[in-house]
Amino acid sequence: MLRFLTAGESHGPQLTVIVDGLVAGLPLDGPRDIDRDLRRRQGGYGRGGRQKIERDTAEIVGGVRGGRTLGSPVTLVVRNRDWENWRRPMQVEAAGFTPKRVTRVRPGHADLAGALKYGFDDVRNVLERASARETAARVAAGAVAKALLARVGIEVRSLVRRIGPVEMPPPGADGAFDAASVDWAAVEESPVRCPDPGTSAEMVAAIDAARAEGDTLGGVVAVVASNVPAGLGSYSQWDRRLDGLIAQAMCSIQSVKAVELGAGFAGAGLPGSAVHDAPRWVEGEGFRHRTNRQGGLTGGVTDGEEVWAQVYFKPISTLLKPLRSVDLVSRQEINAHYERSDICVVPAGGVVAEAMMAWVLAAAVMDKFGGDSLAELRRAVAAHRRRMRAGGSAGTPRGAAAPAPAAAEA
């Protein structure tokens, strides 16, 4: 079973990631495979002052030798440069500890719910771990998953479709996403990761307007995985359905309040004749679909089309002009606490969504194909792809005569 755990606080010395269940023999290099996505997570128009301090890189401290994974847990460390400014209020030791207490909770943040859960009278005990700084660790883990997926031909990418009121039409036709129609170089060149230049400029202007008002903006990210083989996931139990696992992974991202699998929202208001994807046979490719409104997922199982989802981010909860709130200790109404913050995190959120999509798919690949080494895994995936191109049956090959029944035993 492929899994990962993260540890560390926003202003602590580091974030730590342990990736367990990875195959041996996977080429893995921090600067090449992980740091690029860490830089992409830090970018995007609308980010705050923290990104001027941090220069995120991943240090591999376990599970890799000579540039290849060993099959043992891979341990990654992402150091927090801002730790130097927080050594005293965030120190581990009791001696000389001088807390920098926060008692004014922020509407929309985990502050109040976390304090009530654990009985804290200092919200910093909540906000340090609930902070989206934790997503740097997820992106590092997701980059490892991407490295694995790339070795079996799967690619995961994202773009920004909406920021505040500014929206780009979905790329594709018939309500489906089409990765081939996207200029992915333009996505990475855009300050908001939107490939349409006109829409990108409008998004930047919307962020500037929100900043001038002391406000924040949310938006929508589209994330797509290409060349995903049919048969990942399962319909046999509710907790093994891949669409449910993807939805849970996306909704676990800070600020995400909704996820749409395929054209889910639009499909709810249409007749079935305008929603369902008609299958067909394509010689040399296998069974495909004429459209992909279901997002490459049917019954909790991948169907051979691109897996795509749209992820909805609410505006972040720390505002330059704070909302009215309450003091946790005095119970008095007061302006919410202000912690150095961003105006819009949607472009960075797309990189986090990529990481979570990649992780779920990598886990599904390992669950289906197994193997202790990369070579074993690749052989199993290649054999499966050949079977899918031939028609998918695990029994008699297409066009071959069925074997004669065995004679009954005496």
CA angle 345, 347, 139 (to 5 degrees): 85
Domain 99-135+151-369 has CATH 3.60.150.10: yes
The tens place of each residue's pLDDT in the chain, 410 residues long, gives 899 999 999 999 999 999 999 999 999 999 999 999 999 999 889 877 666 667 899 999 999 999 999 999 999 999 998 888 899 899 999 998 988 889 999 998 999 999 999 999 999 999 999 999 999 999 999 999 999 999 999 999 999 999 999 999 888 877 788 899 999 999 999 999 999 999 999 999 999 999 999 999 999 999 999 999 999 999 999 999 999 999 999 999 999 999 999 999 989 999 999 999 999 999 999 999 999 999 999 999 999 999 999 999 999 888 888 889 999 999 999 998 887 678 999 999 999 999 999 999 999 999 999 999 999 999 999 999 999 999 877 654 444 444 444 443 32
Mean pLDDT of the chain: 92
- DSSP letter string over 336-379? PP--S--SB-HHHHHHHHHHHHHHHHHHHHHHHH--SBHHHHHH
Distances from the Cα of 408 to the Cα of 163, 223, 328, 401, 405, angstroms: 69, 55, 79, 21, 9
Pinpoint the alpha helices (H) of 119-180. Answer: 124-130, 135-150
Which pTM does this prediction carry?
0.92
Closest CA relative to residue 279, chosen from 230, 241, 227: 230
User: Where do the domains of the chain lie?
Assistant: 99-135+151-369
Cβ atoms of 339 and 270 closer than 8 Å: no
Q: How far is CA 9 from CA 83, 107, 276, 319, in A?
A: 10, 21, 45, 21
